Structure 1
C-alpha cells in the first residue's frame, strides 16, 4: 500500500539526511524536511556568497551547510537526496551507499507518496511543450492538475493536498529517470536522439535511463511512443502496459497519426479526425508531433472540441521558437531551448524560407554531422559563437551538399554574433537563435541565454 507524505516524513525522523544541490527543486525539499524536525545537511558545489541570503535562511531553520569544492566529502548520512545533475555512481555516493546510506531523490520520493494519477513525459526534444499541452488540456477539461518535474514547481511538498482524481503531469529528464524504480500511469516518450553525452557514458546508458519511464508500469497502464523514431519504435515490444504509437508519416491501425491535413485517432472505438493541422497555432512539424503525443496521452479524458479550442489559441512556451520581435520587416525568434542538433533541425524545418541562424554553445560531445545538410538546405547565413563554433562550421563545410553556401561567420562574443546576424538581415528575413548546444560555456542555463538574446533584440 502506498504511503502518505506524512508517513514518509515520519519514517525519516531520527535519521540523518543530506540533500545534494540547493536549487529550484531541492530548496523546498530542504525546508519541508526541516519543518518536519529532520536533521538536514544541505550540500552544494557553489560557495556561500553565491546564495545571497538563502544560506543564512536555511541555517536559521536548522540546516547544516556543506558548500564549495569539497561539498561531497564525508557523505555518510542515513538518507541522501541526489540532485538530478549528479551521476549516481560518483565515488562519494558509491562510498556512502557501501556504508549503508540510502540514495534517493525528490522525484523518487514523490512517486512513493503521490496519491493521484500520474503522466510522465520524456524524450530528447519536445518534453516541455508536450508536458505543457497535456497539463493544459486536462485543466481545460476540468481536472485538477499539478505540473512538475523539470518544469513547474517541485511537487513533493504538495502531495498531501492532492486527491485521488487529480492529475500530476511531470516532465522527466534522463538524469531523474536513471535510478527510478516506479513509473507513471501514462508514460510518453516524444523521441530519442544523441543528447547529454557529456553526462552519460554512452547512448546506450542514455536510452536505458529513458526506459525507466515505462519499464515499471502495470499491465493496465499506457505508454506512448513515437513510431517514426527508430529507437522509440523498438520500445513497443518492451512495455509491460498498453503501448500506443503516434506517427506523422503513416496511417496506423491503432494509435494517433496524420492524414488528409489532420490528426486522427484509431482505437477499439473506431477512427476519428481530432484536430486539423491548420488549426494548430504553433509552427513546425515537431509541434504537430507534440500534439500527437499529447492527444495519445489524454485520449478518452479530454473531449476533441477542447483540444481544438486549445490548439487554436496556444502560442507556445518561452524560449521555444518564440517570436521576440518584428523590426523593419525582420522577425527575430528565440529558440534557446534547442540544446541538441535534432532540436535545431526541427526549428529550421518550421520556416518555409531560408533563415539567418545563430548557433553554437557548450560542447556536450555529440556529433553535428546531421546538422550540416540541414543548414545547407534551410540557412542563408550561419553565425556561430561559443565553444562548438569550429565543430559546427566543420560539419557544414564537410557535408556533401555544401557548395559555399550558406556564408559562415564566427564570433567569440555572444552579443557580437547576435548583432552580426541583425546586420545581415533584410526585410522579410527570419533571424533564428537556435544554438544546437547547451548553454554552459557562457550562461547558467538555456533560459538565461534566451533572455540575453531577447534583451539584445529588444534594445535594437
Structure 2
C-alpha cells in the first residue's frame, strides 16, 4: 500500500497507537498521533516513535510525526486521508462519526498491518481462550516454520512486526472484538471463533453488535480459506452455515464427520480419516475449556498443512499461559492460583471448574455491565468464601445473596482482599484470583493484577 505523503491520524496512543504510528512513519506517511489525555508526555511519545521507525526502515522512506494532546483540533478533519483507531477508543465517538460523514476512511490497527504486511494470517477470536489458543498455535507454527510472528491482543501489536514480515511468513494473531470492528479487507488464511458469551457490552451495547464484531473475522474469507468454529456453541453453529470459507468444527461432546473432536480422552483429527493426535492425560493444560482450545489450534494448524507429528509433540510440551489458572505456590497447605485473565463471568466459571479443593475466591473489579448469575451458580459448593473488591462488589454481592450464597466479605483494596483470603483459607484449601471483571480502576491491566497477586503469595 502506498502511504507516502498521506496525512494519517492515529487516534489513541498506548502500545497499539505508537506501533501504528511507527509503521506509518516507516512507510512515508505524515502521521498525527492524537490522544485526549493532555497529561501524556508528547515529546517522549514522538521520540519513541521516531527511534523505533528509524531502526526498522531506511531514511528515504520516512514520513513525519507530530503528537497532539487534549481537545481534538477539528480543523484537522479537512486534511486527513485516513484515520487509524487504537482498539481501546470507541468507534461511535461524535468526532469519529464526523470523520465518517466526511468519507475519511476509518481503519483499525489490524487493517493497517494487513494492508502493509506480507505472509499468511492465522487469526483467532472468541470471548474466552484466545490467548491460550494463540500461544499454542504460535508454538506449533514456530516448530514448523522459521518466519512466524505471534501478535495482536496478546500484547504484541501486529503493526510492530510488519516491517519484518516476508512472503512466506505466518502471522498468528489474537483478535479482540474491538480490533475486528474496524476491518475492511482483512482476510486471514485460517480463522477461528472459539466461543461467544456476553462480554464488553459497555462498548458494544447489545449482544447482537458484539456477535457481529466477532463474526467479522471471516467476512472476507473465500472458498480456499478455512474457518474453525466451536460446534457446541449454538451461535457459531448457525454462523457456520453462512461462512464463505471451508468450515471446520471442533467439539468436546460428540464425534464429527469432519473436524477435531474429543473421543473419551483422545483428541481426534478427522479430515479424510480419523487420526489420533494425543490423549488429554498427556497435556500439561487442564480442563475441558483447555481441551477445546487445543482442538481449535489442532484444526487451524492441520488445515494450514502442518504435519500431525509436529502438532502432537507441541501439544505435549505446551505448559499454558501466564495469568490463566496459573498455579503460583502452596503456602502453609493452601494452594494459590492466579486466574487474573478471568475478566468476564464465563472465563471465571472455567477457573472455578478447574479447582479440586474448597476455594476462597477473589472477585470484582471494573463494571463491563455483565450479569453474574451464572458465575455464582457455578460455585456449586466449591467456593467457601467470596472476597469482593472494586466497582462491581455491591452488584455481585446482591446477585450472590439473591441466589442463596451469603459467605461474602467486602475489601477496600486488593491487599486487604488477599489478607482476608489468607485468614479464611485452611490447609487443603485453594485461594483463587478469578475476578470475573476487568482490572481497570485498580490496575492498568490484568497482567499487573496477576503479578501483584503472585508477589503477595511469594511474600507469605
Fold in common (TM above 0.5): yes
Higher deviation after alignment, 196-205 or 257-266: 257-266
| 1:450 equivalenced with 2:450 (yes/no) | yes
Cα gap change, 1:328 to 1:231, in 2 (>3 Å): same
Kept in 2, the 8 Å contact 1:183–1:212? The answer is: no
Cα gap change, 1:273 to 1:220, in 2 (>3 Å): same
SS in 2 for 1:237: coil
Corresponding residue to 1:114 among 109, 113, 117 = 117
Could you tell me which residue of structure 2 aligns to residue 92 of structure 1? 95
Kept in 2, the 8 Å contact 1:284–1:347? The answer is: no
Corresponding residue pairs, total:
445
- Please list the CA deviations of residues 203-236 of structure 1 after superposition, one character each: whole Å capped at 9, or x if unmatched: 0000001111112101111001111112112111
Higher deviation after alignment, 34-43 or 225-234: 34-43
Cα RMSD between the aligned structures? 2.1
Matched residues in 2 for 1:111 and 1:40: separation?
18
Corresponding residue to 1:30 among 21, 24, 30 = 21
| 1:16 equivalenced with 2:17 (yes/no) | no
Corresponding residue to 2:65 among 63, 66, 76 = 63
Corresponding residue to 1:270 among 268, 273, 276 = 273
Matched residues in 1 for 2:382 and 2:226: separation?
37
Higher deviation after alignment, 56-65 or 37-46: 56-65
Kept in 1, the 8 Å contact 2:13–2:35? The answer is: yes
Kept in 2, the 8 Å contact 1:371–1:395? The answer is: no
- Please list the CA deviations of residues 25-64 of structure 1 after superposition, one character each: whole Å capped at 9, or x if unmatched: 2213223333444322111122344578335555899532
Residue 143 of structure 1 deviates from its aligned partner by: 4.5
Aligned counterparts, 1:179-258, within 5 A: 179-181=182-184, 182-258=186-262
| 1:165 equivalenced with 2:156 (yes/no) | no
Residue 397 of structure 1 deviates from its aligned partner by: 2.1
Could you tell me which residue of structure 2 aligns to residue 337 of structure 1? 341
Matched residues in 2 for 1:184 and 1:198: separation?
28
Cα gap change, 1:50 to 1:327, in 2 (>3 Å): farther
Residue 421 of structure 1 deviates from its aligned partner by: 0.6
Kept in 1, the 8 Å contact 2:22–2:49? The answer is: yes
Aligned counterparts, 1:125-136, within 5 A: 125-136=128-139
Matched residues in 2 for 1:18 and 1:143: separation?
34
SS in 1 for 2:432: strand
Could you tell me which residue of structure 2 aligns to residue 423 of structure 1? 423
SS in 2 for 1:294: helix
Could you tell me which residue of structure 1 aligns to residue 56 of structure 2? none
Cα gap change, 1:37 to 1:282, in 2 (>3 Å): same
- Please list the CA deviations of residues 59-79 of structure 1 after superposition, one character each: whole Å capped at 9, or x if unmatched: 8995322213x2475541221
Cα gap change, 1:39 to 1:112, in 2 (>3 Å): closer
Matched residues in 2 for 1:385 and 1:369: separation?
17
| 1:279 equivalenced with 2:277 (yes/no) | no
Kept in 2, the 8 Å contact 1:279–1:308? The answer is: no
Higher deviation after alignment, 371-380 or 298-307: 298-307
Q: What is the TM-score normalised by the length of structure 2?
A: 0.91
Cα gap change, 1:37 to 1:306, in 2 (>3 Å): closer
SS in 1 for 2:202: coil
Kept in 2, the 8 Å contact 1:284–1:351? The answer is: no
Cα gap change, 1:51 to 1:355, in 2 (>3 Å): farther
Higher deviation after alignment, 179-188 or 191-200: 179-188
5+ residue gaps, structure 2, are 54-63
Could you tell me which residue of structure 2 aligns to residue 5 of structure 1? none
Could you tell me which residue of structure 2 aligns to residue 379 of structure 1? 383
5+ residue gaps, structure 1, are 1-7
Aligned counterparts, 1:264-413, within 5 A: 264-267=268-271, 269-299=272-302, 301-399=305-403, 402=404, 407-413=407-413
Residue 387 of structure 1 deviates from its aligned partner by: 1.0
Kept in 2, the 8 Å contact 1:265–1:272? The answer is: yes
Cα gap change, 1:393 to 1:127, in 2 (>3 Å): same
Kept in 2, the 8 Å contact 1:75–1:96? The answer is: no
